Amino acid sequence: MLFGYEWDLSSPLAFAISILPILLTGLVVTIQAASLGFVLALVLGLVWAVLKGLPFPFIAWPARVITEFIRDTPLLVQLFFLYYVLPEYGIVLPAFMTGALALGIQYSAYTAEVYRGGLEAVGADQREAARALNLTAGRTFTHIIVPQAIPRIVPAMGNYLVSIMKDVPILSVVTVLEMLNVAKIVGDRTFDYLIPLSMVGAIYLILTLIASGGVRLLDTWLPKQGIPLK
């Protein structure tokens, strides 16, 4: 028994069916961590992209250094730093929030480059037309540039969503009970690792296929052409 769940060891099929509910509870944690980490990566990535694109070296240069440092250091090191170092300075976060924050920070360095590529891909004629219509820089960015950049970045962002989901098991090192950690605990209690780990692999496969299919569907639905200025 684990967390109120009992399992049947009479046969492999019965064992698989009996541990499915507890694996699904771990799946919920996995999806929550991946979703929160992805949202943080999207928001922070856009901030990094904007800061790196500013014509002020004293702002753009530190942003480039920070994102390069984040991208070139392992996620596990960043996770341990947030989990073990921050409490020494009075900042204590739950394990789940620490893990999601680590995922968001790590992948924000990658999404920043995706944003940068998407923003730069918008034709200069769109900016010139916006200036001709006397639109402010902020309105040009939010109403003209960003709507045209989004369809260009969806496929790459989808790839990072899948990558974040596959990196969630790293959070088990800070006691987050995501799906793989739950499967390992089941294996420790029953001395049978084949079935729970195989089931986790199958669930991850289904999850990533669904996410990839959703991204492809969104990519085909979004318009690719520039938007007319009126």
Nearest to 17, CA basis, from 195, 197, 192, 202: 195
In a domain, 191, yes or no: no
Domain range holding 170? 30-177
In a domain, 77, yes or no: yes
CA distance linking residue 115 with residue 160, whole number of Å: 13
In a domain, 15, yes or no: no
CA distance linking residue 196 with residue 179, whole number of Å: 10
Task: Compute φ and ψ for 94, nearest 5 degrees.
Answer: -60, 155
pLDDT per position in the chain (230 positions), as tens?
555 666 777 888 999 999 999 999 999 999 999 999 999 999 999 999 989 988 899 999 999 999 999 999 999 999 999 999 999 999 999 999 999 999 999 999 999 999 988 888 777 777 777 777 777 777 777 777 877 888 889 989 999 999 999 999 999 999 999 999 999 999 998 888 999 999 999 999 999 999 999 988 988 887 755 444 44
In a domain, 199, yes or no: no
In a domain, 107, yes or no: yes
pLDDT for 2 equals 57
Nearest to 178, CA basis, from 153, 155, 204: 204
Query: C-alpha distances in angstroms, 6 versus 21, 24, 106?
Result: 10, 14, 37
In a domain, 90, yes or no: yes
pLDDT for 228 equals 45
Our count of domains for the chain comes to 1
Six token digits for residue 141: 């960015």
CA distance linking residue 53 with residue 46, whole number of Å: 11
Longest dimension (CA), the chain: 76
In a domain, 216, yes or no: no
Helix (H) or strand (E) segment spanning residue 65:
helix 57-72
In a domain, 160, yes or no: yes
Nearest to 168, CA basis, from 180, 184, 159: 180
pTM of the model: 0.88
What dihedral angle (degrees, nearest 10) is formed by the CA atoms of 112, 65, 122, 228?
Answer: 70
Q: What is the CATH number of the domain that holds 59?
A: 1.10.3720.10
Task: Compute φ and ψ for 177, nearest 5 degrees.
Answer: -85, 65
